Chains A and B, each alone.
Chain A
Amino acid sequence: MNSLILKNCNIVNFDKIEKNKTVIIKNGVITSIENSSKDKGIDLKGKYLLPSFVDLHSHLREPGEEFKEDLFTGCEAALSGGYTSIVIMPNTKPPIDNPQSVTYLKKRELEFGRIEIFPLGALTKNMESVEITEMYDMLKAGAKGFSDDGIGTKNSRVFLNALRYISRFDSFISVHCEDRNLSEGGQINESDVSIKTGLSGIPFIEEDITVYRNLRIATYLKTALHIAHISTKDTLSLIKDFKKKNQKITCEVTPHHLIFDESVHFNYDTNLKVKPPLKSKRDVDSLVKGINDGSIDAIATDHAPHQIYEKEVEFIYAPFGIIGFETSFPSLYTNLVLKNKTDIKTLVKLLSYNPAKILNIDERYIKTGNLANLVVVDLEKEVNVDRKFIKSKSINTPFFNKKLFGSIDMTILKGRIVFRRD
């Protein structure tokens, strides 16, 4: 019988913190939680035990762009950031728009063997927003849901048909909301910052315009819908309104949209060039409020690796996107918790408990009888975000060479230690 004992843990669940507990795990399951005594076991004195994180949004670039990331490096990066379960987006090259591609990813998951991968298939063939994909077959092959992430399904009729077609199954539909006519050619949010930097602006309304259409369609069909990486106050208030009519609507925000506002662009740092673009301080404040008041359901990384030579170029030539697995928890802890903008229970709720619920997977709650999907965090330890710290192939993060509090020391999947920081 495989067993693991963790002693002197401070257990953080989304609703409470319990100090000095011993967690006993047998065959991957938490069999008891007791007050700590001097017994044997891994001593986690001063450290915190959290349910492991679940990412609703990441890009592992395989197949097609393995020079940026491959499935194995992406998974190592995720584990080192405390993630044991990750949703991977289908906008690879070529896109995951057929059952065979899903089967391939599930095979790679088995080869890696230390993480749960939930691949999404494309909603439309080649993500061209013309014909819907073989979604039933993709579900059977192991897809968790569907998305035309990175572009969005431009054609409203096609999007409606896709949602309707898949509505007989419970699957996770994530939508990227961008009005390409408004965003084309744009570099950052249109504002006084775009005027001063000369970087062409994207009017922020492009997001809520598209969010509205998508929410309207899902509400019309009474289907579930998950809005990916929201970035504005207006989008959030729209989602709040629609949630009253359709309880199956959920949304996510990225760590970077909670931490940075558009004023960072005066440095022309391409590691802050993202889609959707960073918004005003007012938007950031409302998103932070949204994670605290429950109107935002999840924090997702949108881990998007790009090689240094792709990013180390003139701003207008740099691709959009930054990596996020490794820095997600430490950056949120350092920039939000330590600045009293939120608390660690809320982070657990949005990084673990809620996303697991949205995906309808094993509950992320540390209690007897639940699977031992856990992460050990040292909140007082500072990590230096350097090449060694980053497990991803790419280092495109605004936190590169910066120090952050909140070290992920250990990641546990079903009772098995799948990552341990040296």
Chain B
Amino acid sequence: MKWTKKHLLSIEELTREEIDFIIDNAFSFKDILLRPIKKVPALRGKTVVNLFFEPSTRTLISFSLAEKHLSADSVNVSTKTSSVMKGESLLDTAKNIESMKTDMVVIRHSSPGAAKFLSERINSNVVNAGDGTHEHPTQALLDFMTIKEIYKDLKNLKVLILGDILHSRVARSLIWGFLKYDTKVTLCAPPTLMPLYLNDFDVKIEYDIDKAIQDKDVVYILRMQLERQEKGLFPSLREYVKEFSMTYERYLRIKDKSIIMHPGPINRGVELDGNVADSEKSVILDQVTNGVAVRMAILYLLNGGKNE
């Protein structure tokens, strides 16, 4: 197929074919990643700005490495070093940066719709690296790639997404994508962290974690934001761990072939036991590797899918 989109803003707007296409490309880039010399000239002479208005380690490093492997020139702008703190608007920041003749902007921002906002106002290709509680498309893509590496096909797989669904952009991107693949999705969270309106999504809701983990091919654990407790959404970490954490004891009860996934960074002992993170069923670090490959594929395709 031929890639036609100018921006990557969400999983919702992608077709299943487009997702497959990105992942196919990502597998090729993963081969390159495994070579001693990891550089290809695909984006030589192109300038990419990583505009991060929210703290991030993993995603920022992952994008930076992907850009370097593709021979792009990139700069990182984070809230602490930009003029955002001085009261400059996102639009002015972006326009100023673009006036320096950039080609692509990778943006992470706390406002849903921020990447779309930018894509409608500047000429560069825009990649959404997480917009508030809306979507985190590159995370979902690397997750689908990781699952495909193990199961080949996502159709009819039984997947559990466990944790703070309500505030999770990762969960939204995953659900959109899984439903395009006819994956069977179960969500598990305390009711206060589960959206009240899920009628438009063909997903199962299970509040009992011990039932939820049964027969799952994939157990996807979300990061628990500790500030949710202060907002009165759950009473204590103690009870959260007891009722909703992937403890080692629960780990022993999941299917033999099941895999454990997590978008990182993990809170050991909170949403999952440290031993579960390091267990043989955990593919958490494979996700991280695939993240670089997927981001290479996306930058490559948005640039027209050509070398130089």
Residues of A within 8 A of B (CB): 187, 190-192, 194-201, 203, 268, 309, 312-317
Contact = CB atoms under 8 A, between A and B. Distances in A.
A198 B172 contact: yes
Interface string B163-189: 000000100100000000000000000
Given A192-B197, A192-B200, A268-B117, A199 B112 contact: yes
Interface string B100-117: 000000000111111011
Interface in B184-225: 195-200
A312 B111 CA distance: 13
What are the 3 tightest A-B residue pairs by CB atom distance, in nearest-first order? A198-B134, A268-B113, A314-B111
Contacts of A195: 172, 195, 197-198
A196 to B, nearest CB: 7
A197 B134 contact: yes
Given A197-B134, A198-B133, A314 B114 contact: yes
A200 B199 CA distance: 17
B132 interface: yes
A188 B172 CA distance: 18
B271 interface: no
Given A190-B197, A309-B89, A313-B89, A198 B132 contact: yes
B67 interface: no
B90 interface: yes
Interface string B116-155: 1100000000000001111100000000000000000000
- Consensus secondary structure, chain B interface: loop
Given A313-B90, A315-B111, A194 B117 contact: no
A12 B117 CA distance: 44
Nearest to B167: A200
A201 to B, nearest CB: 8
Contacts of B114: 314-315
A196 B200 contact: yes
Contacts of A309: 89
Contacts of B199: 192
Contacts of A200: 133
A190 B199 CA distance: 13
B113 A314 contact: yes
A263 to B, nearest CB: 12
A4 B209 CA distance: 79
A197 B91 contact: no
Contact of B197 (A187, A194, A199, A268): A194
B113 A199 contact: yes
B169 to A, nearest CB: 6
B12 interface: yes
A268 B89 contact: no
Given A198-B131, A198-B132, A198-B172, A315 B198 contact: no
A265 to B, nearest CB: 9
A316 B195 contact: no
Nearest to B231: A185
Given A198-B169, A312-B89, A315-B111, A191 B197 contact: yes
Contacts of A196: 12, 172, 200
A195 B133 CA distance: 9
B136 to A, nearest CB: 10
Given A197-B113, A197-B134, 11 more contacts: A195-B195, A196-B172, A198-B113, A198-B132, A199-B134, A201-B196, A268-B112, A268-B117, A313-B89, A314-B117, A316-B112
A371 B213 CA distance: 75
Contacts of B195: 195
A198 B134 CA distance: 4
Contact of A315 (B112, B135, B197): B112
A320 to B, nearest CB: 15
A268 B195 CA distance: 20
A190 B196 contact: yes
A50 B104 CA distance: 55
Given A198-B132, A198-B134, A312 B91 contact: yes
A198 B197 contact: no
5 contacts: A192-B200, A197-B113, A309-B89, A315-B113, A316-B110
Contacts of B91: 312-313
Nearest to B132: A198
A31 to B, nearest CB: 56
Contacts of A194: 197
A23 to B, nearest CB: 49
A314 B90 contact: yes
A315 B133 CA distance: 12
A309 B90 CA distance: 11
Contacts of B131: 198
Contacts of B111: 314-317
Contacts of A268: 112-113, 116-117
Most buried by B among A194, A195, A197, A199: A195
Nearest to B112: A198
A268 B90 CA distance: 15
A34 B117 CA distance: 57
Contacts of B169: 198
Most buried by A among B112, B134, B169: B112
A190 B91 CA distance: 28
